Amino acid sequence: MVHLPTLTRWFIKSAMLYLMAALLLSIALQPPLRQELPLLATMWPTYLHLLVLGWLTQLIFGVALWLFPKYSPSRPRGDERLSWASFLLLNLGLLLRAVAEPSHALGYPVGALLIVAALAQLLAGWAFVLNTWPRVRER
Amino acid sequence: MPRLSVWFVRTALVYLAAGFTLGAALLAAPGLQLGVPAARLLPVHIEFLLSGWMIQLALGVAFWILPRFRVGPERGREDLAWLSYALLNLGVVLAAAGAVVGLPAVLPSIGHAAQAMSAGVFALHAWPRIKVFGA
């Protein structure tokens, strides 16, 4: 029987939620609704990031964590704290940007929120790279 | 993991880190009141993350896990897969550099052509491997 690691389950289930959210948002982004609600016109980047970061990237992170060659017999997935940090920061950053980016486009002063969202996503990506790099090797 | 997959996946990780860094700079720029040249950096951000990261990772993992052959070289024409790796990365660099430093328009176009050729060459490599396991 194949056991998905706990964090892989979190990554993949979160990815599926973002897929649903992105596709629901895509309905709202069609002309009839978009023309009536100015907020929706600012949400194109949010839609793209929900889809590409929330769904695709997060799915890749989860599957890579599960399937890539083991780091060592005692720590098969490397430093799992880095992977958990990656998961939490990615989702924090994505949710913050989903609020901050349209708000900024509408003229609200959310500069600090944009910075936190950017930093969270940056650290999420680097944490994943840092923990995955040593697992990518010949055997 | 075979050597070429290591090259594909590690290069993909480099592009992931670079693409996230550019994306963070673009997102934070209004908050930091930095004059980030978004029109130039956005295409590079997209190029790095779509071609450099996602496509490259997919090709590297496919080279690793697609069914192998029982007779002859187990992964078939590896030379084609190496050529695909070279063309993809040449293409990403040319397309990105074109956007940032304003190379003559023909060079980014050559970059995208190289990426398309990379896909074609990889398909030539992988096509016979898309078969029943053990066949």
Q: Write phi, then psi, for A29 (nearest 5 degrees).
A: -80, -5
Place of tokens 């550099």: B97
How many domains does chain A divide into?
1
Instruction: Give the single-character DSSP code of B12.
Output: H
Of A115, A126, A129, the CB nearest to B31: A115
Whole-number average pLDDT of chain A: 94
The pLDDT score that the predictor gives to residue B40 is 87
Task: Determine the pLDDT at residue B62.
Answer: 98
| Number of CB atoms found within 10 A of residue A23's CB | 13
Among residues of chain B, what percentage have pLDDT more than 90?
79
- Give B129's pLDDT tier (boundaries 50, 70, 90): very high
Residue A2 has pLDDT above 80, yes or no: no
**Between chains, do A121 and B24 touch, taking CB under 8 Å as contact?**
yes
Q: Provide the CA B48 distance to its chain's centre, in angstroms.
A: 8
Domain ranges of chain B: 3-129
At residue B82, the pLDDT reads: 98
Mean pLDDT of chain B: 94
Q: What angle do CA B125, B92, A53 make, to 5 degrees?
A: 95
Contact A125 B17 (CB under 8 A): yes
Residues in B lying within 8 Å of A, measured between beta carbons: 1-3, 6, 9-10, 13, 16-17, 19-21, 23-25, 27-28, 30-33, 49-50, 54, 57
Question: CB B16 to CB A112 under 8 A?
Answer: no
A18 touches A32 (CB < 8 A) = no
Contact A121 B23 (CB under 8 A): yes
Q: What is the mean pLDDT of residues A73-102?
A: 96
pLDDT value of position A131: 97
Residue B101 pLDDT class (50, 70, 90 cuts):
confident
Contact yes or no for B49/B19 (Cβ under 8 A):
yes
The predicted model gives A4-23 an average pLDDT of 97
Predicted confidence band of residue A63 (pLDDT cuts 50, 70, 90): very high
State which residue of chain A sits closest to B42, comparing Cα positions: A45
Model pTM?
Answer: 0.94
Residue pLDDT, tens place only, B42-86:
999 999 999 999 999 999 999 999 999 999 999 999 999 999 999
Q: Is residue A1 included in any domain, yes or no? A: no
Is A32 among the domain residues?
yes
Domain hosting A63: range is: 6-135
pLDDT of res. B125: 98
Predicted confidence (pLDDT) per residue in A112-131, tens digit: 999 999 999 999 999 999 99
